[in-house]
Each structure stands twice: as structure tokens, then as C-alpha cells.
Amino acid sequence: MNATPIVTTAAPSAAADTAAKRRTMRLSVVEGSTWAIMAGCGETFTSPFLIFLRAGNLAIALLTSGPVLLGALAQLAGAWWVERTGQRRKFLALTVMLHALMYAPLFLVPLLFPAVGVGAAVALALLAIFCGNLPMPAWMSLMGDVIPEARRGDYLGHRYGIIFACLTGANLLGGLLLGCFERAQRVWLGFGLLFGIALAARLTGAGLFTRHYDPPHRAEGDAYFSFWDFLRRTPRSNFAKFAFFVALINGATNVGAPFFNVYMLRDLQWTYTQFTLNIVTMFSAQAVFFRWWGRIGDRHGHRAVLVATGWLLPILPIVWAVTSNFYILLAQQVLSGAAWSGFNLATQNFIFDAVAPRKRARVMAYFSVLNGFFTLLGGVVLGAWLATHLPNTYRLGALHVTYLSPLPAVFVVSGVLRLLALLLLLPQFKEVRPAEPISPGALLLRLWSGEAFTGTIGFVATRLGGAFRRRG
């Protein structure tokens, strides 16, 4: 049994507590923006960096899928820390700083020791992912205590909308910079600059965490339960059924996910600029849709969002198998951004709704372990095997299709597996809080109507108008 921390800090007044929570919510938006710059200039270009080093499919699959399970182990360590000490702010600042510092050896070791460049880069990228996941349970625990339950979806949608707007800008900047260095035949220097920006941004985020409000947190005696207890409750646990649903969806997704970058850069021979525009299009769409999905979830329940967006997910990878047209694939990324923004936001909010605050850190860690196992199984085991064993050519009667590589067929398998996961597990779990019912069809019709776009335009116009009035 973990030791229960004793918190001796005097409780602040209700007004001071509310003000501190609001300040932390504002700081969290800024901190999230620094994360976006790190991800846009660092994480996004780690795979291209490995491709530049001439890494093979297995190395790319390991980098894309392996970190999910490795990250889950890191989250178990983070959950243990929160339960044992009750301290979250210092742990967040320390682990985020450690994550930032990993970008220096990630770039320098392959440069200085090219004989072990690919292996070293994969190992250091995995270590960076481990460090990046250590703070997640502490963040979930702290923000769950800070964000008012009634507006959780709206706030997180607003936060992630801003984060993904910054992520879009960072990806665009990173791609443009790397394209310039590519034309100057200085690609090494380009990656060095991008990883330097990522390091600086993440260090800034570590500094912001030192200013967060950390409400007194006490782990209760029943907060601890084993991973086996978590699995054993599955037949009668609504949350466990939800967790298996998300894990299977992510596992099916990662059958193809590790290979999209390879397909774009190696098979389609896109430039770094085209590659970046494709990524930026999806991030831009997510920035537009996040807050809309958050408000939908607050009103209609987060399961309704999971259902509506879930039916879009099987379509997404199959589009890559039927066309290589750059502009059609850009349009597909808009749909991808709309679907994944809603699905991922609803997943996080469902966890907040379904899990008691004292158990959030540990449940989040176990959820990540389950998710990581299926992701690893889908990407490294099944996806990597299919990518090396499926043929390039297919015949169906008079129809004769030849692909540039086996990867488009892998994308089709990913789409089919997503559909099977939806059919098998989506009916198994229910909404956990009162919500106004809405059918998936009605929700998708609202999506197609452009309601999210008009709402975002109105929000931006209102903010800009307010800023101009204050200046006037």
C-alpha cells in the first residue's frame, strides 16, 4: 500500500482558491502553447529525421507505436509519485525540463557518431517520449481539481483549439525552415535548428509549471488498486469497457499510422513543404473543431461525440489507398482533423467524468498501459509485418491495381479494423452523466452544416473586436 501524504498547508479562502484556479487555467493555455511549439518543431520532425538517417520500416514503426507502451510505463511511475507524495507542481516542472533537454542528444549523437546514428536516434527518441509522459498523471490529477466540472468540455476545447492553432503555426514554420535548408543542401543544420526551438519552448513550459496552483491533494486508502483489479472489473465496469474500446481503436489506427510519413516522403516523394502542408491542414482543422466538440460534449454527453466521430474514423485511411492526389489528400486531412479532435477530446473528458478525483492518476496510467499494449500490437507487430509482406499488386476480375508499395494496402486493413472495433465495443459502454440526447446522424449533420466554422469565426471576430476597443 502506498503511503498517504499528509498535507499541512493551510487551506486558502474560497475567493483566493477560485482566483488561483482561474490563474492556473490561464497559465495552462500558455503552457500548452509552448508544448505545441515543441511538438510542431520537434516531435513532428523526429520521423522525418529518422527517414533522413535512412531508417527502415521497423525502426519507424517502433518509433511511432513503441512510445505508447513506453509512455504508459512512464505514466505508472508518474501516478506512483502523485499517490505517494501528493505533490504535482514540482514534479511537473522537473519532468518537463528533463523532456526538453532530451532534444540535444537526439540531434548531436547521430551527428557525432554516424555509425550508430539510426539506433541511437531511435533510442533517444523513445527516451524523450518516456520523459514526456512522466508528467501526464500529475497534470490530469491537478487540472481535474482546477477546472470546474460544468464547463470542462468548453475549457478544454478552448485550450486545445489554441494549442492546435499554435501547433499549426509551428509545423508550418518548421516545414518552411526545413525546406529552405533542404534547398541549400544543409538538412542537418535544419534539423538542428528545429530541435533547438523545441528544447527552448519546452524549457519555457517547465518554468510556467512552477507558477501553477497545486490544490492540497491527499491520496485516500482506496485510491490504489492493481492493474489486475482494473482488468478483472471489465465485465461489470462501464469505464473498463470504454477503455478497451479506445485501446482497440488506437491499436487499429496504429496498424497504418507509423507509415503515413514514410508513404508521403519515400513513396509519393513529396517535398518537406508538401509534407508540412498536409500535417498543418489536419492541425488547423483540429484547432477549428476542438471548442465546438467541447461544447457539444458538455450539452449532449461525451459518448455522443465518441459515437459520431467514431463512424468517420474507418474512412480516413482508406482515402490514402484510392488516391495519391495531393489536394484530395489535403481535403481528407480536414475530415481527419474534424474526427480526431472530437474523438480525442471526448476521450479525455469521459475519463474526467467517469473517474473519481482520487483515482484519476492511477486510472489514467492503467488506461495508458492498455492503450499502449494494443497500439504496440497494431503498429510494431501487425503493421510492420503487413508493410513487409503484403504485395504491391492486386487483381479482382478485370480490376488491376498496382501500388507504389505495400503501404496503401496496410491503410485499408487499418480502416477495416477500426470498423470492427466500432461494431464490437461501441454498444458496450454508456454515458456517465445526465445529457441531452442526440443521434449520431443529427450530430454529423450539424458538423457538415459548417456550424463549427461559423462559431470559430464569430469567436475570433469577437476577440479581435474586444482587443481593438480596448486599444481605442
Q: Nearest Cα to 212, choosing from 26, 84, 352? A: 26
Structural domain boundaries, residue 41: 20-213+228-462
The count of structural domains within the chain is 1
In a domain, 205, yes or no: yes
pLDDT in tens, the chain (472 residues): 344 443 444 455 677 778 888 899 999 999 999 999 999 899 888 888 888 888 776 777 677 666 777 887 888 888 888 777 777 889 999 999 999 999 999 888 888 888 777 888 888 888 888 898 889 888 888 888 888 877 777 888 888 888 888 988 898 888 889 888 888 888 889 999 999 999 999 999 999 999 998 887 665 555 566 777 777 877 778 888 999 999 999 999 989 888 888 889 888 888 878 888 888 888 888 888 988 898 898 889 899 999 999 999 999 999 999 998 999 999 999 999 999 999 999 998 898 888 877 777 778 778 888 888 888 788 778 888 888 888 887 777 777 777 788 898 999 999 999 999 999 998 888 888 888 888 888 888 888 887 776 655 544 544 545 544 555 5
Residues 6+ apart with CB under 8 A from 122: 50, 55, 59, 62, 63
In a domain, 287, yes or no: yes
The SS3 call for residue 396 is: strand
Q: Nearest Cα to 215, choosing from 382, 417, 10, 44? A: 10
**Helix 103-112, helix 117-133: angle, nearest 10:** 170
Distance CA 57, CA 41 (A): 23
Residues 6+ apart with CB under 8 A from 16: none
Beta bridge partners of 393: 402
pTM higher than 0.85 for the full model?
no
Query: Domain holding 337: CATH number?
Result: 1.20.1250.20
Q: What does residue 399 show for φ and ψ, rounded to 5 degrees?
A: -80, 130
> Residue 8: its pLDDT value, please?
40
In a domain, 121, yes or no: yes
CA dihedral of 336, 180, 408, 335, whole degrees rounded to 10: 10
In a domain, 245, yes or no: yes
> Residue 290: its pLDDT value, please?
87
Let me know: does 110 contact 121? Beta carbons within 8 Å. Answer: yes
> Residue 291: its pLDDT value, please?
85
In a domain, 333, yes or no: yes
In a domain, 14, yes or no: no
In a domain, 7, yes or no: no
> Residue 224: its pLDDT value, please?
63
In a domain, 223, yes or no: no
The SS3 call for residue 48 is: helix
> Residue 3: its pLDDT value, please?
42
> Residue 4: its pLDDT value, please?
40
192: left (phi over 0), alpha (psi -120 to 50) or beta: alpha
